[in-house]
Amino acid sequence: MIPHISSRPRRTLVLAATLGAALAFGAPGALAGTLPVAPSAAPAAKAHAPAAVPASQSATWVAGTRAYLVITAPGDSSAVRSAIAANGGTVFSNFDAIGVIVAHSASSGFAAAMRGVSGVQKVGATRTSDVPADAYNPALPANPAQASTPAGEPVRADMSQIKADQAWAVNPGSASVTVGILDTGVDDQHQDLAPNFDAADSVSCAYGKPDTRAGAWRDVDTHGTHVAGTVAAAKNGKGVVGVAPGVKIAAVRVAEPGNSFFFAENTICGFVWAGDHGFKVTNNSYYTDPWQFNCPDNIDQAAIIEGVTRAQEYAEGKGSLQIAAAGNENYDLAHKTTDSASPNDSTPVTRTITNACIDIPTELPGVVTVAANGTGVTKASFSNYGQGVIDVAAPGSNVYSTVPGGGYGSKSGTSMATPHVVGVAALIASANPGITPAQIRAKLAEQANDIACPSDSRCTGTTADNSFFGEGQVDALKAVGTTPPPGKYFENLADFAVNDNATVESPIAVTGVTGNAPATLKVGVDIKHTYIGDLKVDLVAPDGTVYTLHNHAGGSADNIAQTYTVNASSEVANGTWKLRVNDNAASDTGKIDAWSLTF
């Protein structure tokens, strides 16, 4: 979620280095990083889709029309729908499977009247502004012309940081796994997204009901397309590669055009769609407008909490895991005190809040909450945090990904961190067919690499689970089932600078391994360095024996990310092994980012 750094949606903080399309920013909604949009051409007769709006409604829209959630028991809501009409409202859409009706009315007494109707449990306004006339006859988003991109898709720092580049060789993801991008929409024509795009299961849920026309899912901003690329840009020799380049992506546009607002009815529609269309995971890089935090003691916000919670539970019950951005206010979500950003669709006011007030959807039960790392395993300065709130972390600073029109650009925010986690979850699902949302949640926690608290009093908890990073930073390589057996895998994740005309060594102390090292000792090397022809890389055994891994090969290529096999059977396994890197030229420097030994 990248809201409030670049505005309401958990929007990206930075957009730079674009190639191709220009990037325009409207007044954003509650973006937390990027918002998805859904394509049309939906399959026939999907259960529980909201009822279509009568054509005559467009003629009855008037200024002052507001949207309401009317909450009932799940099942037949015909009696309540009749009462809505009798009390000056119209049914815009209804989700009988979860007992949620989206109603519109220009009557100031509508909500109070409906609260007295038999069978109605809650009623709440979803916005403090009028429903746009566009809701009754939505314009299709633009289909931008596509720029061409030169060949080449170098591994980016965010991908190597979570070992996605190593995971691709093991399992790039299964085409049977579909990820829903609930966001501002997705440019399905983009050369890096088209190969994996699922138009049949894409839709627009703007205004709170499915619009299945072809192209309704397209991006009304840039956020959703950027998120989609991080999840699953194709490995096609150009542009960028997503964390899970073999999975499918479907767009569910929950943002409204012109302002990128993500109102509750839009999110409800998106979650129900996700459940009914078999999405294994959804990416939610936004918060639900207009309230940054929804408080149960507010009669309107209580209905929003109930409606979106039911929709999330419905989607999870159908097999879909929701993953959401924590937000970009550098705010402690475990110790809430004030909210000065709401309502963001009219005039925000400062109000006192408590932890009973929640950020939706990221703080809903069952939703995986994602914080952003900065460079390496630091906390991104903007990332929200909170003990017991943050589940996992991922890179979220200066993330380079797809933007509409065939272009590319860099954005920062928890919105950018979230699709990394979504991609890892998609890899977990690919490697474990039939896995449940609860099991994916558990595996996300298990595979994450612990990050200790820095010297910052705001970071509380343990190395294994703390307020900045939760269970730690996700690891795509572990997600695809390559976790080494306990006691036989050793790694050093500390950075060691490789300077010009200098030699540096990174040590690993090996203990608990009986006898000699194997003839197939695996040496995983991750070196970030421009012009790798400058480098000689050696493995140094505990007795000082040197095994050369890389000897000035590669010329002007960047970075070494490779696993070498070494016959070290003459070496005693236990002791201190070293990775020695020698730079014997000027101008290009770098670092040992990480390395490992597998016995």
- Residues annotated as catalytic are 183, 223, 415
DSSP output for 517-564: PPTTEEEEEEEEES-GGGEEEEEE-TTS-EEEEEES-STT---EEEEE
The tally of CA atoms less than 13 A away on the side-chain side of residue 122 is: 22
Q: Which residues contact 298 (CB under 8 A, 6 or more apart)?
A: none
CA dihedral 219, 225, 227, 232 (to 10 degrees): 130
How many angstroms separate the CA atoms of 209 and 74, rounded? 18
CB of 243 closer than 8 Å to CB of 166:
no
How many angstroms separate the CA atoms of 266 and 276, rounded? 15
Q: Is 479 helix (H, G, I), strand (E, B) or coil?
A: helix
147 φ, ψ to 5°?
-80, 155
Q: Identify the burial level of 137 via C-beta atoms within 10 angstroms of its C-beta, where 0-12 means exposed, 13-18 middle and 19 or more buried.
A: exposed
How many angstroms separate the CA atoms of 110 and 540, rounded? 77
Q: Is 443 helix (H, G, I), strand (E, B) or coil?
A: helix
CB of 342 closer than 8 Å to CB of 301:
no
Strand partners, 561: 526
Q: Is 102 helix (H, G, I), strand (E, B) or coil?
A: strand
Strand 399-403, strand 590-598: pairing: unpaired
The tally of CA atoms less than 13 A away on the side-chain side of residue 68 is: 32
CB of 1 closer than 8 Å to CB of 285:
yes
Q: Which residues contact 452 (CB under 8 A, 6 or more apart)?
A: 463, 466
The alpha carbon of residue 445 and the mean position of all alpha carbons in its chain are separated, in whole angstroms, by 16
Strand partners, 284: 182, 324
